[in-house]
């Protein structure tokens, strides 16, 4: 079928949308065709010539009448009949006569096999369905064309694009992207060629899409699919538009780099075609990522570790063809705050600082309002998280949440105790722990505290927690059943090594012992762990040295290749922050909290080397921490099934030990009574029975 000039490429692209408006909103009456005036220079008897002239002149009113007249008269060859039905269909559709067009298309398909496999035929068919008030059938037809593998690819290609366009104009953004995904997956061999043509066509469509629709399409990009079609093309059009503005060119440059490095794009020329003219006009941007770190003073070692991870991420980006610029400000330098104030606008994101007082200075000077600040801190004391600043770090609640979830969901423990130091750190963890236990429908049934600077007093806090009278001699002390099965000890590892054995001193060895992430630091330097006291102990942590996740494997390999040794948490923090900042979607130059919070949703698909961070819609972050247990060689990941079995065996041994202790006490008492009353048959009978029971148990245990 000939593509008439009136159905040029752009008009075809939007014909469905334009015509659906009157069809769906109720309708302007189409003009009636008029009979051509014979006095206007046409030979009235030569209808065929007149029909040709009307068609060439795009006089669709005349074309419809004249082609109908030709068909009614008959005596046309099969070829001429097909041509007349084709022109009648197009002209009737342009005149708003959908029923006439549908009849003509049906006859054309009968005369010209394969006509219904062309986009021209289907485009007129779809418009005609809309004209007769059947838009739902039009959508179903487009969908069926897209799915029909027996149809030509060009037809499926155009139908899929039209369906997607129709869906997003109806604000069905998810359905629209799903249609394009199906089309991309169905691309015939050679797939790179057919997929490249689809990418190019979709980009052209987006270029004429209004900004609101483009923003809406970008807002629904799934984090785990953001580097796949069709979302790569949405990002590419975003970058193109950002690149037209000097203020947002750095964000465009970052996004184009990421698309070139990470995007799964079949057409390798597509990103350069967008990037090259923008770079020629705007130049290479000088912006990047700022970092506020202590590079001197008491925290310098940590700052340099973070920077080591940043360097690994930067080198990884460079070898992948991207560019990650960094600007590091030493927060221990006298003029550090002035250096942050003078950062160019192109440095759109800042990581750090590591110290609470430095962060408070940033907030007080209003610098967190200039660019999003991701503090490497567990809490933001004088800022609202998700509004004034953000965290790139775990919190005390993250630690407690991981512990309580393990205890309640895996070991089915619901009663807890807390033994904490009387200082701000301990008080905060105590409050958070009680809150989290209550949210999990558990109960903190016992609480104890101790003066952190007086270790000799610590044992006095354990006995009342267990309900034990410490003044009673051990051999006379009755077994107790504490009202809890787990105890949380939020203090350092050195303190835990003193406190936890106190429970064993009072014969309580059945507890699940919970500690904070702080234990990990002490264990890393401790070569003398008394495992008898910690075989049922658990603590959380953000870094697992043997993590098999791709991000962790890549980081370990990168450092090993450079002879920099094994990474730790701080190195992983810098590595992950730099990579994460590099793939964040572009933010407006005058950013707002909502735009940052939306951009943070990409975290769900990020390849973390440390424990994953997850931001909610309000910008509050949580870290899905690993759970570890102390070992004689350091730390090991908790095997949950093994932990349950170990707790069960511990409880069974405890019960046996208590039973043995009670039997021994009774045996000693019976022997004393027998000495006093050797002929008392009741005493003698009970003594024999108890001795037989003890002997039989020894035999059973020996088998």
Residue 157: pLDDT band with limits 50, 70, 90? confident
Report helix, strand and coil shares of the chain as percent, to nearest 5: 60, 10, 30
* Token pair in block for residue 660: 């043995």
Shared-domain flag, residues 462 and 588: no
Residues 695/660, Cβ–Cβ less than 8 Å: no
* Token pair in block for residue 597: 């919070």
Shared-domain flag, residues 320 and 455: no
The answer as to whether 250 is a domain residue is no
Read off the pLDDT of each residue in 567-572 and give the average, rounded to a whole number. 96
Q: How far apart are CA 434 and CA 428, in angstroms?
A: 10
The answer as to whether 341 is a domain residue is yes
The answer as to whether 675 is a domain residue is yes
Residues 602/223, Cβ–Cβ less than 8 Å: yes
The answer as to whether 302 is a domain residue is yes
Residue 301: pLDDT band with limits 50, 70, 90? very high
Shared-domain flag, residues 367 and 468: no
Backbone angles phi, psi at 464, to 5 degrees: -65, -30
Q: Which of 541, 575, 610 is the last residue of a domain?
A: 541
> Is residue 563's pLDDT more than 80?
yes
Read off the pLDDT of each residue in 229-239 and give the average, rounded to a whole number. 93
pLDDT at 31: 44
Residues 426/452, Cβ–Cβ less than 8 Å: yes
pLDDT at 23: 31
Q: Which of 541, 566, 600 is the last residue of a domain?
A: 541
Shared-domain flag, residues 356 and 410: no
Residues 293/560, Cβ–Cβ less than 8 Å: no
Residue among 165, 164, 161, 125 nearest 141 (CA): 125
CATH number at residue 449: 3.40.50.2300
Residue-wise DSSP of 414-468: -EEEEEEESSHHHHHHHHHHHHHHHHTT-EEEEEEEE-TT-GGGTHHHHHHHHT-
Q: What percent of the chain has pLDDT over 70?
A: 91
Q: What percent of the chain has pLDDT over 90?
A: 43
Shared-domain flag, residues 519 and 419: yes
> Is residue 537's pLDDT more than 90?
yes
pLDDT at 630: 93
* Residue that has been written with the tokens 């090259």 in this structure: 276
Q: State CA 474 to chain mean position distance.
A: 55
What's the mean pLDDT when you consider all of the chain? 85
Residues 51/77, Cβ–Cβ less than 8 Å: no
Q: How far is CA 176 from CA 139, 160, 238, 286, 320, in A?
A: 12, 9, 18, 37, 32
Q: How far apart are CA 408 and CA 400, in angstroms?
A: 12
Shared-domain flag, residues 421 and 534: yes
Tens-digit pLDDT profile for residues 317-342? 777 666 677 899 999 999 999 999 99
The residue range of the domain holding 696 is 650-702
HEC profile of 162-191: HHHHHHHHCCCHHHHHHHHHHHHHCCCCCH
Shared-domain flag, residues 400 and 432: yes
Q: How far is CA 339 from CA 209, 286, 304, 331, 336, in A?
A: 41, 16, 19, 10, 5
Q: 613-615 and 486-488: which strand pairing?
A: unpaired
Read off the pLDDT of each residue in 463-490 and give the average, rounded to a whole number. 85
Residues 226/235, Cβ–Cβ less than 8 Å: yes
Shared-domain flag, residues 525 and 494: yes
Read off the pLDDT of each residue in 66-87 and give the average, rounded to a whole number. 88
Residue among 283, 261, 302, 323 nearest 578 (CA): 323
Tens-digit pLDDT profile for residues 190-206? 777 788 888 998 999 89
Residue among 402, 401, 430, 406 nearest 417 (CA): 430
The answer as to whether 501 is a domain residue is yes
* Token pair in block for residue 573: 């923090």
Shared-domain flag, residues 310 and 293: yes
Burial readout 402-427 (b: 16 or more C-beta within 10 A, e: otherwise): bbbebbbebbebbbbbbbbbeeebbe
> Is residue 427's pLDDT more than 60?
yes
- Global confidence as pTM: 0.70
Shared-domain flag, residues 326 and 431: no
What is the CB neighbour count within 10 angstroms for residue 96? 21
> Is residue 221's pLDDT more than 70?
yes
Q: How far apart are CA 121 and CA 15, in angstroms?
A: 14
Tens-digit pLDDT profile for residues 260-272? 878 899 888 899 9
Residue 7: pLDDT band with limits 50, 70, 90? very low
> Is residue 6's pLDDT more than 70?
no
Torsion of CA 192, 198, 200, 206, to 10 degrees: -150
> Is residue 20's pLDDT more than 80?
no
Q: Is 320 exposed, middle or buried (0-12, 13-18, 19+ CB in 10 A)?
A: middle
> Is residue 413's pLDDT more than 50?
yes
* Token pair in block for residue 344: 């160019």
> Is residue 557's pLDDT more than 80?
yes
Q: How far apart are CA 463 and CA 697, in angstroms?
A: 32
Residue 352: pLDDT band with limits 50, 70, 90? very high
pLDDT at 144: 82
Q: How far apart are CA 326 and CA 346, in angstroms?
A: 11
The answer as to whether 349 is a domain residue is yes
> Is residue 42's pLDDT more than 70?
no
* Token pair in block for residue 626: 């690993």
Tens-digit pLDDT profile for residues 575-586? 999 999 888 877
> Is residue 27's pLDDT more than 80?
no
State the alpha helices, DSSP H only, in 190-248.
Answer: 191-207, 211-219, 231-243
Residue 596: pLDDT band with limits 50, 70, 90? very high
The answer as to whether 57 is a domain residue is no
* Token pair in block for residue 108: 């054309």
Counted domains in the chain: 3
The answer as to whether 53 is a domain residue is no
Read off the pLDDT of each residue in 649-678 and give the average, rounded to a whole number. 80
Q: Is the peptide bond before 230 cis (omega within 30 degrees of 0)?
A: yes
Residue among 77, 158, 118, 625 nearest 397 (CA): 625
Read off the pLDDT of each residue in 176-198 and give the average, rounded to a whole number. 84
Q: How far is CA 455 from CA 142, 447, 449, 466, in A?
A: 77, 18, 12, 19
pLDDT at 701: 65
* Token pair in block for residue 204: 């052209």
Shared-domain flag, residues 584 and 661: no
Tens-digit pLDDT profile for residues 106-131? 888 888 888 888 888 888 888 888 88
Shared-domain flag, residues 400 and 526: yes
Residue 28: pLDDT band with limits 50, 70, 90? very low
> Is residue 568's pLDDT more than 80?
yes
Query: Which helix (DSSP H) or strand (DSSP E) does residue 327 occupy?
Result: strand 326-330
Q: How far is CA 108 from CA 65, 88, 250, 543, in A?
A: 17, 10, 55, 69
Burial readout 377-391 (b: 16 or more C-beta within 10 A, e: otherwise): bbebeebebbbbbbb
pLDDT at 30: 44
* Token pair in block for residue 529: 């762990």
């Amino acid at each position: 079928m000939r593509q008439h000039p009136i159905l040029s490429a752009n008009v075809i692209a939007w014909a469905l949308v334009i015509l659906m408006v009157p069809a769906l909103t109720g309708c302007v009456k189409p003009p009636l065709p008029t009979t051509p005036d014979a006095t206007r220079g046409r030979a009235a008897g030569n209808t065929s010539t007149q029909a040709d002239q009307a068609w060439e002149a795009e006089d669709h009113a005349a074309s419809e009448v004249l082609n109908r007249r030709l068909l009614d008269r008959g005596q046309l060859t099969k070829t001429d009949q097909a041509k007349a039905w084709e022109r009648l269909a197009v002209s009737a559709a342009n005149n708003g006569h959908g029923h006439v067009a549908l009849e003509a298309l049906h006859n054309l398909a009968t005369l010209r096999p394969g006509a219904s496999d062309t986009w021209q035929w289907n485009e007129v068919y779809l418009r005609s369905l809309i004209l007769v008030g059947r838009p739902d059938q039009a959508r179903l037809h487009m969908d069926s064309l897209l799915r029909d593998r027996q149809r030509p690819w060009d037809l499926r290609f155009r139908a899929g694009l039209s369906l997607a366009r129709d869906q997003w104009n109806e604000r069905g953004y998810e359905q629209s992207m799903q249609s394009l995904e199906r089309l991309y997956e169905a691309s015939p061999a050679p797939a790179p060629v057919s997929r490249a043509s689809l990418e190019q066509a979709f980009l052209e469509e987006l270029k004429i899409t209004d900004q609101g629709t483009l923003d809406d399409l970008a807002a629904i990009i799934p984090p785990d699919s953001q580097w796949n079609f069709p979302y790569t093309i949405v990002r590419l059009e975003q970058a193109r538009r950002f690149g037209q503005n000097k203020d947002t060119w750095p964000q465009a440059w970052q996004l184009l780099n990421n698309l070139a490095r990470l995007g799964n794009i079949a057409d390798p020329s597509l990103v350069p075609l967008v990037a090259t003219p923008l770079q020629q006009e705007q130049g290479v941007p000088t912006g990047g990522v700022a970092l506020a770190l202590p590079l001197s003073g008491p925290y310098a070692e940590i700052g340099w570790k973070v920077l080591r991870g940043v360097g690994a991420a930067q080198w990884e980006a460079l070898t992948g063809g991207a560019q990650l610029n960094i600007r590091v400000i030493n927060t221990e330098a006298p003029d550090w705050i002035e250096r942050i104030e003078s950062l160019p606008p192109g440095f759109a994101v800042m990581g750090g600082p590591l110290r609470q007082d430095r962060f408070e200075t940033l907030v007080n000077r209003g610098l967190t309002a200039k660019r999003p600040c991701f503090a490497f801190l567990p809490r933001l004391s004088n800022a609202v998280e998700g509004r004034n600043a953000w965290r790139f770090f775990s919190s005390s609640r993250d630690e407690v949440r991981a512990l309580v979830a393990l205890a309640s969901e895996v070991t089915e423990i619901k009663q807890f105790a807390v033994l904490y130091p009387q200082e701000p750190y301990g008080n905060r963890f105590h409050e958070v722990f009680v809150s989290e236990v209550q949210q999990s429908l558990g109960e903190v049934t016992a609480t104890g505290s101790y003066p952190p600077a007086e270790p000799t007093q610590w044992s006095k806090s354990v006995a009342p927690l267990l309900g034990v009278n410490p003044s009673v001699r051990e051999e006379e002390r009755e077994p107790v059943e504490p009202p809890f099965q787990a105890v949380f000890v939020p203090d350092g590892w050195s303190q835990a090594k003193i406190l936890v054995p106190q429970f064993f001193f009072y014969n309580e060895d059945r507890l699940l012992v919970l500690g904070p992430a702080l234990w990990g630091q002490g264990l890393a330097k401790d070569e003398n762990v008394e495992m008898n006291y910690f075989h049922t102990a658990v603590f959380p942590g953000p870094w697992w040295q043997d993590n098999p996740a791709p991000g962790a494997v890549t980081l370990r390999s990168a450092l090993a290749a450079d002879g920099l040794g094994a990474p730790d948490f701080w190195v992983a923090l810098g590595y992950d922050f730099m990579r994460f900042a590099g793939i964040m979607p572009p933010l407006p130059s005058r950013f707002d909290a909502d735009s940052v919070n939306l951009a943070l949703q990409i975290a769900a698909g990020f390849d973390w080397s440390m424990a994953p961070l997850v931001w909610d819609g309000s910008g509050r972050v949580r870290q899905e921490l690993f759970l570890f247990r102390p070992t004689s060689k350091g730390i090991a990941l908790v095997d949950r099934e093994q932990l349950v079995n170990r707790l069960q065996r511990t409880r069974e041994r405890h019960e046996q030990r208590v039973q043995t202790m009670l039997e021994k006490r009774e045996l000693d008492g019976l022997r004393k009574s027998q000495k006093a009353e050797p002929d008392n048959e009741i005493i003698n009978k009970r003594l024999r029975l108890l001795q037989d029971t003890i002997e039989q148990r020894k035999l059973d245990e020996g088998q």
